[in-house]
Amino acid sequence: MKKLNVEFQELPYAVEEAMNRLRINIKFCGKNTKKILITSSMPNEGKSSIAINLWKMLAEAGFPTVLVDVDLRKSVIKERHHINNTEKLQDLGYYLSGQAEIEDVVYETQVENAYIVPCMNLLENPSALLEDARFAEILDKLAETYRYVIIDSPPLGSVADAAQIASLCDGAVLVVRAGETSRNLIKQSFQQLSQVGCTLLGVILNRVETAGRAYKKYYGKYGKYYKQYGYGEYGRYGQEAASSKDK
């Protein structure tokens, strides 16, 4: 198996603790929850950062975990985490188009137990490929090999790809950006996941200002979602990540 180097940003202490709580909560979702979708309602909510750090922490905790980058239209992981290789890499697109097999597109990383199926080449219209049986097959095969399969998908509100991906997953974590994502968009995302039979594992409220009136107002607006699903708070991490324009 070939190896890729993935660069990780150092997390502030509060963010690292919040990610650890998320990792523990994922562990308590049960042994049958293996294929986990990380998505959002719209771009720039922080889902890719959540996905890659959750992947890394699960691996460091001793769980063989593979990250599958399925944001085939607008992936940011390759550039942000400096995934480079002197050789031409076969990625998820190669597998979906029948030009490679599963073993050709899964890579080891420098983090023990952390594997990745990268997206190295963006596609204009991957919908047909994601609807093909090969996509469901790779997710099922990875779930047989690894304890967790973390899937970074496009936002639910942007294209139909995310709902198709969700239909093949055991559960989803919805990332919501504080002060930006409307209540209607969140409701629509809940409905989309429910319609395709994907269990909502929880919601993460990202880029939260934990002090001041704005936070209290926002908390009040979404208080019932906190009570029902239990949000994770990521404090000022969003301000630091915002410059990288995460989705």
Report how far apart, in Å, the C-alpha atoms of 143 and of each of 37, 57, 196 are: 13, 18, 19
Per-residue pLDDT of the chain (247 residues; tens, 9 = 90+): 888 888 888 888 888 999 999 999 999 999 999 999 999 999 888 899 999 999 999 999 999 999 999 988 878 787 777 776 546 789 999 999 999 999 999 999 999 999 999 988 888 888 999 999 999 999 999 999 999 999 999 999 877 889 999 999 999 999 998 888 889 999 999 999 999 999 999 999 887 665 544 444 444 444 443 333 333 333 333 333 333 334 4
Domains of the chain: 3-7+16-242 (3.40.50.300)
Q: What is the residue-wise DSSP string for 144-198?
A: HHSSEEEEE---TTT-THHHHHHTTSSEEEEEEETTTS-HHHHHHHHHHHHHTT-
pTM confidence score: 0.82
